[in-house]
Structure 1
C-alpha cells in the first residue's frame, strides 16, 4: 500500500492517538504475549516472544474460528488501551465469518481495541501487513489469510520479520485452511477446537483449545497443550489431563480415547 493511502493514514493516526493515551506504555515487561497459564508461558521462556512472527494453522476449515479466537484472546490480554490491528482478506471474512464484537466482549476482551481492516486480495493484504507491523503502539498485528498464500514466500516473510523486530511489535499470522510451509516464524502452532467442560445444569463450558507446537526456533517442538479460556480471570488455564510439554511423535495423529493403534 502506498504511503498516500487514506486508509493507512487514518490507521496510523488512530494507533498514534491510542499509543499517546498509554497504549505503548502498556506492553508487559519483556514485551511477550502471555497466556496467563504459568506452565505454558514458562515453557516458552515467558510467552510468545515480542517482535517476532508466530504462525497459527487451522488445517481443518472447521477449526478456523478456534485459531482466530486463540490468537485474538492472547493479544487482547495485554493491559491498557494498545490496539490490536487485525488484517484479513475479504475471502477470509466470507469463509470464516464476520468478527462479532459482542462475542469478544462476552469472552472478556475489549472490542474497542480492535482495528479491523479487510483487503480485496492477498497482494494488498501483504502490503498492509508490512505497513501495519511498523506502526508503533499496537498490542499486536494479526494477519488472517485463507488457503494457499503464494505471495508469502521466504523473502516476503523476512521483510515482515524484520519489520516486527525493528518495531518490537508481535505479528500473529492466521493461516486458515492451509498447510505449513517453510517460513521465518519464531513459532508455528496447530490449533484445534477441543471439547469444553460442561458447567452446572449442562450450561456450555468455556472455550477450549488443543495446541501443538509444530516449530520453535528457540527450542524443541512437539509439545501439546489443552487450554481453557477463563472469562472471569481473563486468562488461559490448563484443562484436566493436558498433555503439557509431552513430546509427540512428529505429526502423529492423536487417537480418540479408547481407539486402538494401527
Structure 2
C-alpha cells in the first residue's frame, strides 16, 4: 500500500498593517483602517473637486507615514507634468497648514506616463518611505490592469502603500484594494467667521473582499493628523455588499472628473 503524504497547509497570510483614520465608522468598514502595502485609488468626482481629492489624499498619505508622531517616515509624491500644468505647484504653506513637516515630503515631476509609472515602482521598492502618491491627469492607457498589478505586488513586498490620485479620469479595472470618490464639502466656520478645517465627502466605491458603497463627511484634524466626523452628515444607511473591483463604475463615479486650481 502506497502512503502519500498530504501537503502541509499553506500558512495564513499575516494580517495587514492598517492606519486608523480617526473616523471609526469608516475604519470599521475597512476592517480596522486603510491598509499599508496596498494600492488605493482616489478619484475626483466632478469638475471642481480635484483640490478636495488632493487634500484627502495628502491627509491620508501623511497619516500613513506616521504624521504627528515621532519617527514619521517621508512621503514621496510623484506628479505628471500635465497635472502640474493643470493644478499648479505645491505650496509649502498649504502643506504645513495640513500638518505636514517641512522636511517630510519629496515631490517629483515626471514628463511622460511611462516614466511616472516606473518612478512609482522604484519608490514602492524603498521600504524607508511611508507612502507613495502618484498624481495623474486624464486617461492613461499605459496604466492598465497589468501595470496596477505590478504596483500592488511592489507595495505588498515593501509594505509601502501607493495612493493613486486620478483627475479627469474614469475608473477602470485594476488591482486596487480600495477605490474612493472625493467631493468638496463646506467647512464649519470658526469664531469670527474664519475658515474652518478642510472637509471632504468621500465614498468607498470598491473594496476587495469587503463592504462598499458607504459615504462619510470627513473633517481634517491637523494636530492629530487624522480625520474626524464632519458636521451635518451621516454615513449612508442600509446594508452594503462587496462589489468586484473590475465592475464598471456607475453614476457620478463614471463621469470624467475635473479640477480646481488651488490658490
Q: Structure 1 residue 225: deviation in Å? A: 0.5
- Note the aligned Cα RMSD (angstroms): 2.1
Preserved contact between residue 188 and residue 231 of structure 2 (Cα < 8 Å) = no
Q: Helix, strand or coil: the match of 2:122?
A: helix
Cα distance 1:42–1:50, how it changes in 2: closer, same or farther (>3 A)?
same
Q: Distance in 1 between matches of 2:90 and 2:216?
A: 26
Aligned partner of 1:159 in structure 2 is: 150
Gaps of 5+ in 1: 1-28, 254-262
Q: Structure 1 residue 237: deviation in Å? A: 0.6
Q: Structure 1 residue 116: deviation in Å? A: 0.8
Aligned partner of 1:9 in structure 2 is: none
Q: Structure 1 residue 245: deviation in Å? A: 5.2
2:232 matches 1:241: yes
Gaps of 5+ in 2: 1-14, 241-248, 253-263
Aligned partner of 2:260 in structure 1 is: none
Cα distance 1:131–1:232, how it changes in 2: closer, same or farther (>3 A)?
closer
Q: Distance in 2 between matches of 1:248 and 1:200?
A: 39
Q: Distance in 2 between matches of 1:252 and 1:242?
A: 21
The alignment covers a number of residue pairs equal to: 226
2:161 matches 1:170: yes
More helix by share: 1
- Larger RCO: Structure 1 or Structure 2 (Cα < 8 Å, ≥ 6 residues apart)? 2
2:59 matches 1:73: yes
TM-score relative to the length of structure 2: 0.80
2:46 matches 1:60: yes
Quick one: which of 175, 179, 185 aligns to 1:188?
179
Cα distance 1:70–1:217, how it changes in 2: closer, same or farther (>3 A)?
same
Q: Helix, strand or coil: the match of 1:51?
A: coil
Q: Distance in 2 between matches of 1:216 and 1:134?
A: 24
Which protein has the larger Cα radius of gyration, Structure 1 or Structure 2? 2
For 1:181-225, what per-residue CA distance to the aligned partner results, in whole angstroms no more than 9, with x for missing partners?
Answer: 111100000011101111111111110000011100021211001
Preserved contact between residue 87 and residue 118 of structure 1 (Cα < 8 Å) = yes
2:107 matches 1:121: no
Preserved contact between residue 29 and residue 211 of structure 2 (Cα < 8 Å) = no
Quick one: which of 26, 35, 38 aligns to 1:40?
26
TM-score relative to the length of structure 1: 0.80
